[in-house]
Structures are given as structure tokens and as C-alpha cells.
Amino acid sequence: MSERAAIIGARLLDPASGLDTTGGVLVEQGKIADCGPRLFADGPPADALVLDARGRCLTAGLVDMRVLFGEPGAEHKETFESGTLAAAAGGVTSLACLPNTQPCIDDPAMVEFIARRARQARRVKVYPYGALTKGCDGRQLAELALLREAGAVGFTDGDRAIADSLVMRRAMAYASMLGCRLIQHPEDPALARGGVMNDGAIAARLGLAGIPAEAEVIMVERDLRLAEATGALYHAAHVSTAAAVAALRQAKARGLPVSCDTAPHYFALNELEVEGYRTFAKVSPPLRSELDRQAIVEGLADGTIDAIASDHRPQDQDSKRLPFAQAEFGVVGVETLLAISLELVHRGHLTLLQLLDRLSRKPAELLGLPAGQLRPGAAADLVLFDPDQPGRIRPEDLHSLSRNTAFEGRPCQGRVLWTMVDGRIIYDAGRQRPI
């Protein structure tokens, strides 16, 4: 690709500045040199590669703050090659990967390994979390300062909650001194133990052990108390219940520096998806009641929920084609993140700028990443998409090694056309093979 590129005829969208206008973007040496509504009034530069957006939406690439790859340790589920290609196909240009791999990311060498593998893949930008405790076992704190120095953007034990209150308080105090965000999987392990879906009438009818909604809010409320005591930057991941949203809303009203995210399956699906013992709907935390789903939508609309993350957790066929109780938790989601999230716009819950704020600017801000803004000087990490193009989610069309999507066969409205990172197009929907 040319050192200079002129993107013309685009609908420019930037939630950081409120920009929503027709215009163009000039890309030079991997950065946005200029952008605006009258940029190419006299025509694009003669030496630039011209990319005609034809009125489609152009915005900063999405920032996904919750992705788990199989590599290292479970490369048959997802590699950096397949995972970053799936991210690019979904319009994601920056992502934070969870540390609960095999081995887990609990020492600086593993942080450096992740950075090296991301460079080798040469697609999207990958930022590793550091494990909060050694081995992600919730008992002994990892060397957080060394992990931070090596490049960790936050600390978490991934899909494992820190159940010990003393360990959590120490972790918060330590992370607070480092000025780094602590991300918790908010689920009381004792209440959730043995559960495989949301507790309630449907679980009873199917004969499946339930995980009560109280398991989430009890952990959130404990953590909020500890965050208030330590001043920690606390983040509750994949919030799924009305009670947890209410608790976080109240904490924010008190001025606590807390935040949270949710995933598309928690605002687009409910526990009815488990009917027929459908293991592709088995996630952690589980799909909740319709009232909980509506509360998640409300939390996104009023800003209580700061960000939308894919919660991408690939599982191979052998892990999912099992009786429901034995099947693994998790779905792929990085590639369908934008398409499903656009339902919030089409149904009138969010404006397009509000949605992009929760998909790009806000997660970048929470993790301190140089991303999520369409402005001169920023890296040319861009996504062009058509918010109205109809389609249907089909597992065979996905780029992940694993195809365990909860949205199989679901009609959608919105498609990524191409994705650019540092001025280089890394995914083009019009091509028949990966770039």
C-alpha cells in the first residue's frame, strides 16, 4: 500500500469529539495526517492511493478489552494468527488478551512472549493483561510491578474470581499504587459452584444446576466496598444482572473510580437460548432472565456500563459437543462484536456515536491505550463499515479456528468492509483470501 492514502466520501464518526459528517481522511506513514468535511474539496493528492468510501461509515478501529486466545497451551482452539484475523474481520484494531492461558501470563517473560507473537501475526494490536495472582489461582499476588513494567495494561485472573477478601484488598492496594486497573470476574465461587446456567424455573425444568444472580451482585458489592477503602481503579467484567448494574450505578453516583463492561450476548440473548440443551449458549456468567437483559440495555443507554467487550472464548467441537453439564463455557465473539452491537442502534437504544464510544473510545481510555479516536496525529487504525447491510451469522463464515458462536443463524444488520492498522489494510471483505 502507498505511503499516502486518501479516503474520500466517508461518513466520519468520532465519539470523542462528537464528529458525524461526510468528509475524508488523509493517511501518511501510518498516521492520520488530517481529517474533516472539506479535506479534499480540491481533490485528493496526486501521489496518494484513493480509497472511495461511497458514503459508508469510517471510524477509529474498535478496542476489545476482553479476548482469550488458545495460544499458548490450547492452539487447537485459537492461535494468534486465526484470532487476530477474526478480530480484523470484526473491525477490531486493538485488543487486550486475558492471562489465563497455559501457562498463564504471570511473569514478565510471558508478557514479552505475547508481544512477540502479536508482532509476528502482523495484524491487530494485542495488549496483554497480567495475572493478578500467581497461576491465576487466587491465593498469592503476582509481581504486579514487574508485569506492569513489561507492558501489562491491567491485572485480572481472567474467568476466575478473587474470592479471598484479604487477597483482593491487597491486590487493590497494590494496583492502586501502580495506577493500573484491576479487572474482576464478578461471581462468588461458592454460590456458582457446580452451576451451568442461570438459576430459575428454566434450569429446574431442564434439570440443570443453576447459578443464582446473587452470585454476581454479592461479589460486586464486596469489591465496591474494598475499592472505596483502597481507592483502586476497579472494573467489573461482563456484567449480566440487573442487581449488579444497580450497585455499580450507585457506586458511580458516590464518585468511586469504578467501571464495568458487558458482552453482546448479555444484551442480545437471554436464558431461553439454553432450551434444547444448546451448549453454544453456555457462557460464564450465564445468560440471564429477560428482565436482566433489559437492565443491561438500560445500563448501556444511561452510561452505567462503560464498554462493550466481545468476551471471546473459543472452544473446539470436542469441548462443546457434550452433554450440557460437561460442555465448556464460552463463545467466540470478536468477529460478531460490531454486527450484534449495532442492534442497539437499530432498535433505538443508542445513537451510533454512543455505541462507538462504548466499543472504542471508552475501552481505550480505561486501559490507557493510544486508540479509539479519529484525529490528526493518531495511528491510522480505522474501520469502514456499512451499518445497514443485511446478513446472517453463519459459523462457516467465521475466521476463528473455533466456531462456537451463540448467534448461529441470527439475522444481522451491519458489515465490516475493511480494517486498517497503521495505514495498512489488514482485512478486506471484498477479497477472497486473508491479507
pLDDT tens digit sequence for 393-409: 999 999 999 999 999 99
Average pLDDT over residues 144-166: 97
224-229, long-range: CB < 8 A, 24+ apart: 224/248, 224/251, 224/256, 224/258, 226/165, 226/168, 226/169, 226/172, 227/172, 227/251, 227/256, 227/257, 227/258, 228/254, 228/256, 229/169, 229/172
Average pLDDT over residues 387-397: 96
Q: Mind listing the domains of the chain with CATH numbers?
A: 62-367 (3.20.20.140)
Is the predicted pLDDT of residue 60 greater than 80, yes or no? yes
Which one is catalytic: 311, 357, 386, 428?
311
Is the predicted pLDDT of residue 275 greater than 80, yes or no? yes
pLDDT score for 159? 95
Is the predicted pLDDT of residue 435 greater than 60, yes or no? no
Which residues contact residue 349 at a Cβ distance below 8 angstroms, ignoring those fewer than 6 apart?
297, 300, 301
- The angle that helices 214-230 and 242-253 make with each other, rounded to 10 degrees, is 20
The C-alpha atoms of residue 80 and residue 151 are separated, in whole angstroms, by 18
The C-alpha atoms of residue 24 and residue 352 are separated, in whole angstroms, by 19
The C-alpha atoms of residue 372 and residue 356 are separated, in whole angstroms, by 9
184-243 confidence digits (pLDDT tens): 999 999 999 999 999 999 999 999 999 999 999 999 999 999 999 999 999 999 999 999
Kindly indicate the confidence band of residue 434, based on its pLDDT and cuts at 50, 70 and 90: low
End-to-end Cα distance, the chain: 12
Q: How far is CA 25 from CA 4, 62, 215, 356, in A?
A: 11, 17, 48, 18
Is the predicted pLDDT of residue 74 greater than 80, yes or no? yes
For residues 12 and 35, is the Cβ–Cβ distance under 8 A? yes
Q: Is 311 a catalytic residue?
A: yes
The C-alpha atoms of residue 161 and residue 157 are separated, in whole angstroms, by 7
> Considering all CA atoms of the chain, what is the largest pairwise distance in Å, rounded to the nearest integer?
68
Kindly indicate the confidence band of residue 431, based on its pLDDT and cuts at 50, 70 and 90: confident
Kindly indicate the confidence band of residue 16, based on its pLDDT and cuts at 50, 70 and 90: very high
The C-alpha atoms of residue 337 and residue 186 are separated, in whole angstroms, by 22
- Dihedral Cα 296, 302, 307, 309, nearest 10 deg: 30
Q: Where are the alpha helices (DSSP H) in 231-289?
A: 242-253, 264-268
Instruction: Provide the β-strand partners of residue 36.
Output: 24
pLDDT score for 297? 98
Name the 3-class secondary structure at 180. coil
> Which region holds residue 238: left if phi is over 0, alpha if psi is between -120 and 50, else beta?
left
Is the predicted pLDDT of residue 2 greater than 80, yes or no? no
Instruction: Provide the β-strand partners of residue 384.
Output: 58, 418
Query: 38-47, 164-173, 347-356: which has the minimum mean pLDDT?
Result: 38-47
Q: What are the DSSP E strand ranges found in 108-199?
A: 125-128, 130-131, 155-156, 182-184, 197-198
Is the predicted pLDDT of residue 309 greater than 80, yes or no? yes
Is the predicted pLDDT of residue 378 greater than 60, yes or no? yes
What count of other Cβ atoms lies within 10 Å of the Cβ of residue 179? 9
The C-alpha atoms of residue 308 and residue 15 are separated, in whole angstroms, by 15
Residue 134 DSSP label: G
Average pLDDT over residues 248-265: 97
With CA atoms as reference, report the closest residue to 265 among 309, 298, 300.
Answer: 309
- Mean pLDDT over each residue of the chain, to the nearest integer: 96
Is the predicted pLDDT of residue 272 greater than 90, yes or no? yes
pLDDT score for 430? 84
